């Protein structure tokens, strides 16, 4: 994953549509995907690499996710061949707010970009939030996820 701290994220409308459909298809489990794009002071999400949720306990997949390492390697190779980078990961919270959970924070290797879609029970729409998890020492308040501003493009 890219390590330069972004100041904002621009999201391609088509990529966000694909990501929403990946999350819809995964219901009632958490959906997950890798986010591919370009870096600089402003990052641009251009493509989504859908992934299967391979959390080892299937009964817990409605509130946990894990990416297959083989898919991560394939996505990195595919992105590099097209001048893109793996920016981070996207995942859904099918029945809760789009805020990184304690488990999300514990299992994410920082620094990292997370794009989370949350959904209130019975809601037809995803609510999107973008987060930056900075690299820091354990128990450092700077390790708190920081909301990253984002805008839609296209």
Instruction: List the domain boundaries for the chain.
Output: 8-153
d(CA 100, CA 61): 16
Give yes or no for residue 25 having a pLDDT over 80: yes
Percentage above 90 pLDDT, the chain: 73
Which CATH number does 8-153 carry?
Answer: 3.40.140.10
The set of long-range contacts for 14-23, using a CB threshold of 8 Å and a minimum separation of 24, is: 14/154, 15/45, 15/46, 15/47, 15/48, 16/45, 16/128, 16/152, 18/48, 18/50, 19/48, 19/90, 19/115, 19/117, 20/117, 20/126, 22/48, 22/50, 23/91, 23/92, 23/94, 23/117, 23/126
pLDDT-derived band at 8 (thresholds 50, 70, 90) equals: very high
Burial of 89: CB neighbours in 10 Å, binned 0-12, 13-18, 19+: buried
Q: Could you give the CA distance from residue 2 to residue 32 in angstroms, rounded to a whole number?
A: 18
Whether pLDDT at 142 is above 70: no
CA dihedral sign, ordered 19, 25, 30, 32: negative
Indicate whether 143 pLDDT > 70.
no
pLDDT digits (tens, 9 = 90+) for 82-98: 999 999 999 999 989 99
Instruction: Read off the pLDDT band of 2 (50, 70, 90).
Output: very low
Q: Look at residue 112 and tell me whether its pLDDT is greater than 60.
A: yes
Mean pLDDT score of the chain:
90
Looking at the predicted structure, is the pLDDT value of residue 40 above 70?
A: yes
- pLDDT above 70 for 1: no
Q: Is the pLDDT of residue 119 over 70?
A: yes
> At residue 80, does pLDDT exceed 70?
yes
49 bridge partner residues: 34
Q: What is the mean pLDDT of residues 43-59?
A: 96
pLDDT at 141 over 60: no
User: Hey, is 154 helix, strand or coil?
Assistant: coil
Tokens representing 21 are: 């459909």
Q: Which tokens hold the place of 117?
A: 């879609």
Phi-psi region of 124 (alpha: psi -120 to 50; beta: other; left: phi over 0): alpha
Whether residue 109 has pLDDT greater than 90? no
């Amino acid at each position: 994953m890219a390590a330069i701290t972004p100041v904002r994220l621009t999201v391609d409308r088509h990529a966000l549509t694909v990501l929403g459909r990946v999350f819809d298809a995964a219901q009632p489990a958490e959906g997950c995907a890798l986010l591919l794009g370009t870096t600089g002071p402003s990052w641009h999400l251009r493509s989504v690499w859908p992934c299967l949720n391979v959390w080892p306990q299937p009964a817990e997949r409605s509130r946990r996710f894990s990416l297959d390492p083989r898919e991560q390697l394939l996505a990195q190779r595919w992105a590099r061949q097209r001048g893109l980078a793996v920016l981070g990961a996207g995942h859904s919270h099918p029945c809760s707010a789009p805020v990184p959970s304690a488990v999300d924070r514990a299992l994410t290797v920082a620094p990292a970009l997370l794009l989370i879609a949350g959904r209130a029970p019975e809601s037809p729409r995803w609510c999107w939030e973008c987060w930056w998890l900075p690299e820091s020492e354990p128990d450092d308040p700077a390790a708190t996820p920081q909301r990253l501003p984002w805008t839609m493009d296209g």
